[in-house]
Amino acid sequence: MKSVTLNTLRDYKTRGEAFSCLTAYDATLARCADNAGIDLLLVGDSLGMVLQGHKSTLPVTLDHIRYHTACVARGKQRSLLMVDLPFMSNADSGQLLRDAGELMRAGAELIKIEGQAWMADGIRELDRRGVPVCAHLGLAPQTVHRLGGFKVQGKAEDEAQRIVDDACRLVDAGAAVILLECVPRAVGRAVSKAVEVPVIGIGAGPDVDGQILVMHDALGLDSGYVPRFVKNFLSGNDSIEAAFRAYDAAVKARRFPGEEHCF
């Protein structure tokens, strides 16, 4: 099978076809997800919570992300590999460029950055140097303390409009993909219509272009709190790869997420 590229995701959006994404942190499970047809793998700073046992993503360092990026890059073949920049990598343009360069050398094919419209200059600098960027909007876990917890964003009309406006501005700056986390379904739909680039959702409803889940959540590995947008795909399946195939099929048939998973 051909490798998934940004052009593949753009083609999915043009044709109105959904695509599947999962987090991954090691070679074995990355290979399993790749074999199951998952289009995009994310080495997320969520590893701080699901692998390291922290209460947030903030303790995750560049060295942690780089290590897991190299592991996943060795395990996958077809899937596009997106990688998170950890907390404070966007402190200034020099730091941003150095950290993104380190992750690209480790195997990243798409760099994800949390932030709002103020990230436009940084995204422009990365794009100018050939680094493809995914802009992460809505609930940004790296700002959890400022937000007062893991809360749905964009519920008020002005907040919803700001998310749409920020997405447009960041795409104009060069963002190749938008990721929306924990926003009302209407916001997911509005952003997907407002921008030409693929929009990935996690807790953003079914009207975006792609869906992503934390791999551990998709396997029903309960960490004590199960977000509304999560579904256990291992239930009813006899292997991890079968669970990933079920998730991939449900996303592409637009059976997941359902209304019960939406805000």
pLDDT tens profile 9-36: 999 999 999 999 999 999 999 999 999 9
What's residue 146's pLDDT? 61
CATH number for the domain harbouring residue 189? 3.20.20.60
Residue 1 lies in a domain: no
Residue 233 lies in a domain: yes
**pLDDT band per the 50, 70, 90 thresholds, residue 147:** low
Does residue 7 have a pLDDT over 90?
yes
pLDDT for 162-190, tens place per residue? Answer: 999 999 999 999 999 999 999 999 999 99
For residues 33 and 19, give the distance between their C-alpha atoms in angstroms, rounded to a whole number: 13
Does residue 125 have a pLDDT over 90?
yes
What average pLDDT does this structure show over 46-56?
Answer: 93
Q: Which pTM was predicted? A: 0.95
Structural domain range at position 67? 6-261
**pLDDT band per the 50, 70, 90 thresholds, residue 148:** low
Is 181 noted as a catalytic residue in this protein? yes
Whole-number mean pLDDT of the chain?
94
Asked whether the beta carbons of 173 and 165 are under 8 A apart, the reply is: no
**pLDDT band per the 50, 70, 90 thresholds, residue 254:** very high
Q: Which of 262, 26, 54 is nearest to 154 (CA)?
A: 262
Bridge partner residues of 19 (DSSP): 210
What's residue 223's pLDDT? 67
230-235 long-range contacts, Cβ below 8 Å, gap at least 24?
A: 230/261, 231/256, 231/257, 231/261
* Total tally of structural domains belonging to the chain: 1
What average pLDDT does this structure show over 91-105?
Answer: 94
Q: Of residues 181, 196, 241, 260, which has the active-site annotation?
A: 181
